[in-house]
Chain A
Amino acid sequence: MATIAGTLAQPTQSGVWSWITTVDHKRIGVLYGVTGFSFFLWGGVLALLMRTQLAVPNGTVIESDRFSQLFTMHALTMIFLAIMPMGAGFFNYMIPLMIGARDVAFPRLNALSYWTFLGGAMILSLSFLFEAPGGGWFNYAPLSERPYSDGLGIDFYVVGLLTLGLSSLMAALNFAVTIINLRAPGMTMMRMPVFVWMTFVISILLILALPPLTVGLIQLLFDRQFGTHFFIATEGGDPLLWQHIFWIFGHPEVYILILPAMGIVSEVLPTFSRKPLFGYPAIVFSGIAIGVLSWVVWSHHMFTTGMGSVPRAVFAVNTMIIGVPTGIKVFNWLATLYGGSIRFTTAMYFAVAFIATFTIGGISGVMHASPPVDSQHQDTYFVVAHLHYVLFGGAIMGIFSGIYYWFPKMTGRFLGETLGRWHFWLLFIGMQMTFFPMHFLGIAGMPRRIYTYDDGLDWGFWNMFATIGSYVLAVSLLFFIWNFFRSMRREPSAPANPWDAPTLEWGTSSPPPEHDFDAIYTVRSREPLWYDRDHGIAAPVATGEHIHLPPPSYYPILIAIGITLLGVGALSHLAISALGGVIAFYGVWGWALEPTD
């Protein structure tokens, strides 16, 4: 069943079971993408509730503890359950196609990452049925410790993030190996599309950043369950240790969130400007530089914790320096537009808007890189403005650009351009309305994470303004949802390369066959399809060789269920953990013995 000789037709599988057992990177990509987007909407609904409460002074919609749960779960959902999986969706779908491979290095591991992610996401989200975590997404100790948070909430946080971390680690390992090892002939590192490069950097960042977080979470778990005192000062622990551990993970994490978007934009801009990316090596190396520098700036989240002046000075300098490689990217993107012949598709709108809004977020970032300035910004809405400009204006804008750009490749259908325009403009305006006033609020002294504020502080007007903006955002997303379903009901009509794009994923049909490429490309340039087009080189033709496709497997989901139960057991009864352990062990056993040929 696995090996297809000669002919390339793979028996098309359908039905739920085929999705559950799939090890096809494209299907897993779709699973990641759809799940991630659903969580994005859910996270947005949580945000709307917060905005509703904050619309007027002394609002009475949501009470204090519930509000804490909202901003905690909003951030966790957006970061870990929306942006990261949507990024992973694109990695999964596109990376093998872009490097001219037929799959990822470890297809079953890939499936396992997805199902483990889903398990972790369930643990985190279903906490709402019991008690959602309410300590903020960085969950500072000792507030997160037993004496101050006695309920299950923080335990959901710990177990959920541990599970999600495991999933991300597996995915990152897989992509690092895939990119290093499975490139098509001629695809040297310096010919890889920027998106592939960014994925590679992200994978390395994840592989190195997740262990510290894991250790921190385990220590918190031990504090809460087994009576240690890692973060409790009165017993000899140190609350700031948690902050260091969290931000050593946390700062690389924010680049993990933005680099996929930067990669996407680096693909979209050249395609629609009809010219190669300007300064490819500079963009790649600045991406690497950002990755490296992200390790030496974490304490800029801790400028107000009473670190000495020397560490503050050092971290301030390091943080400001990060603006340089990022600036190089921005300038090169702009230079890519220069001299082009720009086609304004919706994807292009999002890409250009990305440059503008991300830069605004970057600038406010550099502003609070100065510790004296940050002593006024820290924990105010100015930081909330910053983080939404880089996360919404950056990561989400980039992801939408990618959705419009790759939709034809993934589905064989186009998203409507008119509805796309509506979506874009409403989103763009809504986003400015929601988040720009937060700068004013921050300067006017509004702290973040407050569920209520007094009137007479001059905060009411801009809060109402921002709330209206967030509803505009919601409307814009309804346009997108409409657009999506409208397109999916249409007949597929997209040719292999509708945008006349230069990279390999456009060198196969839309959507691609299960084996990705009938024949493997030989890469001769950074823009292989344009090179072949300009040099009259025909696409390679199938040779009728054996194409090996890994058979579907239900062990990944089985192991993931085991892992999830292990976590659930830690929250309720150890018997459930034991059951999970048995299931996971059985899964690994079966996995190891399962033939992959």
Chain B
Amino acid sequence: MAHAPAVAHGGAHVTSTGTENRKLLMWIFLGSECLFFGSLIATYLVFKHQVIERGIGPFPIDVTIDGKVEHGIFDIPLTSTSTFVLLMSSVTMVLAVYGAHQHRLKMMKLGLLSTMLLGLVFLGFQVYEFRTFGHEGLNLTTNMFGATFFLLTGFHGTHVGVGVLYLGSLLAASFRRNGLGRETGEHVEIAGLYWHFVDIVWIVIFTVLYLIP
């Protein structure tokens, strides 16, 4: 047959759906990730009220126990800032993808680099937040709030970290040879899918944990 499609590797070849294999893989994988973060968020919600009922602090938000006000340890302005940073990284990621598709090597490199830097800044914020919480007496074992909070945001942070490495490997690859291979556009776009996903998950976490009382 003239258009034998079933070629056995992930290159830009004809596929039954027209979507490139690796991109499809990433989409489905992100579906799996939804359930992963969904389970972690669900665990957080399960224990949310119970934490306050048991009365063992620190608490995420201000609560009144036996007439005494216990101050919550969430610092909304700080976390809003870090959320904004992560949001911006999605913008720079879009630039990187655009650059890769348009064969504008410089733009792509710049986009990747700034996305990575913004990701690192976000991680810096997270490290700072974790440390502050630690000083205020909240750690993994203090109460169920600590356990669920650190597990959830910790795994999100890990995802950001992996994303930074992922983008870093693309950036490193773009310094080789001419920098823009036949498939670079696809590669960067797929990485972009991942990055945007991690970003969106954070928006959900931020909303559910920090904003909804």
Nearest B residue to A588 by beta-carbon distance?
A: B169
Do A550 and B9 touch (CB < 8 A)? yes
Do A183 and B16 touch (CB < 8 A)? yes
A562 to chain B, nearest CB (A): 16
Q: Which of B23-42 contact A (CB under 8 A)?
A: 24-25, 28-29, 31-33, 35-36, 38-40
The reply on A136 being an interface residue by CB < 8 A is no
Say yes or no: A228-B140 contact (C-beta < 8 A), given A177-B21, A177-B24, A215-B40. Answer: yes
Do A236 and B25 touch (CB < 8 A)? no
Contacts of A353 in B (CB 8 A): none
How far apart are the CA atoms of A96 and B1 in the complex, in Å?
A: 17
The reply on A549 being an interface residue by CB < 8 A is yes
The reply on B80 being an interface residue by CB < 8 A is no
The reply on B19 being an interface residue by CB < 8 A is yes
Do B10 and A176 touch (CB < 8 A)? no
The reply on A545 being an interface residue by CB < 8 A is yes
Do B7 and A102 touch (CB < 8 A)? yes
Do B43 and A184 touch (CB < 8 A)? no
Contacts of B143 in A (CB 8 A): 236
Interface stretch of the complex, out of B44-52, B88-96, B119-127, B193-201? B44-52
Contacts of B144 in A (CB 8 A): 229-230, 236-237
The reply on A328 being an interface residue by CB < 8 A is no
What number of residue pairs across chains A and B have CB atoms under 8 A from each other? 139
Contacts of B19 in A (CB 8 A): 180-181
The reply on A222 being an interface residue by CB < 8 A is yes
Contacts of B43 in A (CB 8 A): 215, 219, 230, 241
Do B1 and A226 touch (CB < 8 A)? no
How far apart are the CA atoms of A169 and B143 in the complex, in Å?
A: 32
Q: Is the interface of A mostly helix, strand, loop or mixed?
A: loop
B102 to chain A, nearest CB (A): 24
Do B6 and A520 touch (CB < 8 A)? yes
The reply on B54 being an interface residue by CB < 8 A is yes
A343 to chain B, nearest CB (A): 32
Contacts of A104 in B (CB 8 A): 8
Contacts of A102 in B (CB 8 A): 6-8
The reply on A579 being an interface residue by CB < 8 A is no
Residues 203-231 of chain A: 1 if any B CB is under 8 Å from the residue's CB, otherwise 0? Answer: 00001111110111011001000111110
Contacts of B47 in A (CB 8 A): 236-238
Say yes or no: A236-B56 contact (C-beta < 8 A), given A180-B24, A229-B147. Answer: yes
The reply on A105 being an interface residue by CB < 8 A is yes
Contacts of A498 in B (CB 8 A): none
Contacts of B147 in A (CB 8 A): 222, 228-230
Say yes or no: A208-B32 contact (C-beta < 8 A), given A228-B141, A520-B6. Answer: yes
The reply on B5 being an interface residue by CB < 8 A is yes
Contacts of A30 in B (CB 8 A): none
Chain B, interface size category, equals: 35 or more
The reply on A18 being an interface residue by CB < 8 A is no
Most chain A CB within 10 A, of B11, B46, B50, is at B46
The reply on A596 being an interface residue by CB < 8 A is yes
Say yes or no: A103-B6 contact (C-beta < 8 A), given A211-B32, A228-B141, A228-B147. Answer: yes
Do A207 and B1 touch (CB < 8 A)? no
Do B6 and A182 touch (CB < 8 A)? yes
How far apart are the CA atoms of A236 and B169 in the complex, in Å?
A: 43
How far apart are the CA atoms of A182 and B7 in the complex, in Å?
A: 8
The reply on A540 being an interface residue by CB < 8 A is yes
How far apart are the CA atoms of A215 and B152 in the complex, in Å?
A: 10
Do A207 and B32 touch (CB < 8 A)? yes
The reply on B3 being an interface residue by CB < 8 A is yes
The reply on B85 being an interface residue by CB < 8 A is no
Do A180 and B16 touch (CB < 8 A)? yes
Do A185 and B35 touch (CB < 8 A)? no
Contacts of A427 in B (CB 8 A): none
Contacts of B35 in A (CB 8 A): 208-209, 211-212
Q: Which of A177-206 contact B (CB under 8 A)?
A: 177, 180-185, 187
B109 to chain A, nearest CB (A): 18
How far apart are the CA atoms of A99 and B7 in the complex, in Å?
A: 13
How far apart are the CA atoms of A172 and B47 in the complex, in Å?
A: 32
The reply on B15 being an interface residue by CB < 8 A is yes
Do A181 and B15 touch (CB < 8 A)? yes
A223 to chain B, nearest CB (A): 9
Do A106 and B1 touch (CB < 8 A)? no
Do A214 and B141 touch (CB < 8 A)? no
The reply on B17 being an interface residue by CB < 8 A is yes
How far apart are the CA atoms of A102 and B4 in the complex, in Å?
A: 10
A212 to chain B, nearest CB (A): 5
Partner of B39, one of A107, A207, A212, A238: A212
How far apart are the CA atoms of A520 and B143 in the complex, in Å?
A: 61
Contacts of A187 in B (CB 8 A): 16
The reply on B151 being an interface residue by CB < 8 A is yes
Do A106 and B10 touch (CB < 8 A)? yes
Contacts of A169 in B (CB 8 A): 32
The reply on A268 being an interface residue by CB < 8 A is no
5 pairs of A and B residues whose beta carbons are closest in the complex = A103-B8, A101-B6, A211-B36, A211-B35, A215-B39
Can you sample 6 A-B contacts with CB below 8 Å?
Answer: A174-B25, A214-B36, A216-B39, A218-B151, A222-B147, A520-B1
